[in-house]
Structure 1
Amino acid sequence: MELLNPVAMLVAAISALVIGFIWYNPNVFGNAWMKAAGMTDEDVKGGNMVKILVLALIFAFLLSTALPGIVIHQMGVFSLIGGDPSIAEPSYAALMADYGDAFRTFKHGAFHGVLTGIFIALPILGTNALFERKSAKYIFINAGYWIVTLAVMGGIICAWR
C-alpha cells in the first residue's frame, strides 16, 4: 500500500487556490480582507498575478507534502521502517494488512486538517499579524481561510489512496 500519493498532494495544492478564489472574492471576504489588510483595488491589481499564483501553488504543494504525516496515521509506522517497505520485518506487512485503511477517510483527514489550522496556522498568522499591527478581523479572515483549506487538503490527502 502506497501512503504517499503525489497526485492527491497536487490536487490538494490546487484546492488551496480554488478555495482562495472563493474565500477572497469581494462577495465573500475579499472586501473585508482588503480593508483589514490596508489594501486598495489598485494594490491588488498592481501585483504580478502569474508570479503570485505560481508561487502560491508551489507553497501549497510544499504544505501538501507535510500533511500526510499529520492526517495519515499509518505514516508513523512507515517512518519506523525507514520508509522502505522492502526491508521491513514481516510484522509491518501484517500490521498494514490489518490496519492499512484505518481512518483513511475524507472526514478524518479534514478533522486533522482543521486541528492543524487551529493549532499551527492560526498561531503563526496571529503572531505575525500582531507584530504587523493588524486587526483581529484580519487574523480571523486569514486563519479561517487556512482552517478551511487545510481541512479540504487533509481530507483529499487522507482519503485518496
Structure 2
Amino acid sequence: MEINFLALIVAAISTLLVGFVWYHPKVFGTIWMKESGMTEDKMKGGNMALIFGMAVFYAFLIAMVLQTLTIHQFGALSMVGGDATIAKPSYTAFMADYGTAFRTFKHGALHGFITGLFLALPIIGTNALFERKSYKYTLVSGGFWIVCFMLMGGIICAWK
C-alpha cells in the first residue's frame, strides 16, 4: 500500500478552507479573538506567508497520522513489517478480500471525528487549562480541529 501524497496535501489544505469559514467574524472568529486575546493589530503584525505555510505543514503531519487511523489496511501492512513483498500468503489473501473495504469518505470522517474528539480536543483543553483560557476558547478551537479531522479523514480514506 503506497502513501497517497496528493490526498494528504489536499487534506492538509482543507484545514485552511475550514479555518476561513470557522474563524470568520460571523461564525466563531469574534468569539475566538476575544477568548484568545487576539486583536486586529496583532493579526496584522504577523508574517502571514510563514503562518499559513507552517499551518499547512503541520496539517500535513496530522494527515500522515490520520492516514494510519482511517485506512485499516495500513494496520495489516504494519503487521508484515511494512513490506508486502515479504508477507506470507495470508496477507495477500486478506488484501484480496479486504483491500478496499471501508475506504469511504463516511468511514474516514467517522474515524476523524473520533480522533478529533479523543485526541485533539483533550490536547487543546489541557493547554487551555494551563494557559487560563475559557471553555469557549476550548470549544471553538477544539471544535475546529474536530471538523478538520473529520474532513481530512474523509478525504484521505476515500481517495484511493
2:37 paired residue number: 38
Q: How does 1:1-161 map to 2 (within 5 A)?
A: 2-161=1-160
Provide, for residues 24-70 of structure 1, a one-character-per-residue CA deviation record: whole Å limited to 9, x for no partner.
11121111100011111111111110010000010000111111111
- Aligned-pair distance for 1:3? 4.8
Q: Which ranges of structure 2 fall in alignment gaps of 5 or more residues? A: none
Query: TM-score, normalized by length of structure 1?
Result: 0.96
The two structures, once aligned, show a CA RMSD in angstroms of 0.9
**Stretches of 4+ aligned residues off by more than 6 angstroms:** none
CA distance in 2, matches of 1:50, 1:78: 38
- Aligned-pair distance for 1:130? 0.6
CA distance in 1, matches of 2:101, 2:2: 12
The residue matched to 1:133 in structure 2 has which SS?
coil
CA distance in 2, matches of 1:82, 1:8: 24
Q: Which ranges of structure 1 fall in alignment gaps of 5 or more residues? A: none
For this pair of structures, how many residues does the alignment match?
160
CA distance in 1, matches of 2:91, 2:143: 39
Q: Alpha carbons of 1:3 and 1:105: their partners in 2 closer, same or farther (altered >3 Å)?
A: farther
CA distance in 2, matches of 1:159, 1:4: 13
CA distance in 1, matches of 2:56, 2:84: 31
CA distance in 1, matches of 2:140, 2:133: 11
CA distance in 2, matches of 1:131, 1:99: 45
One-letter amino acid of the counterpart of residue 52, structure 2:
L
CA distance in 2, matches of 1:152, 1:65: 14
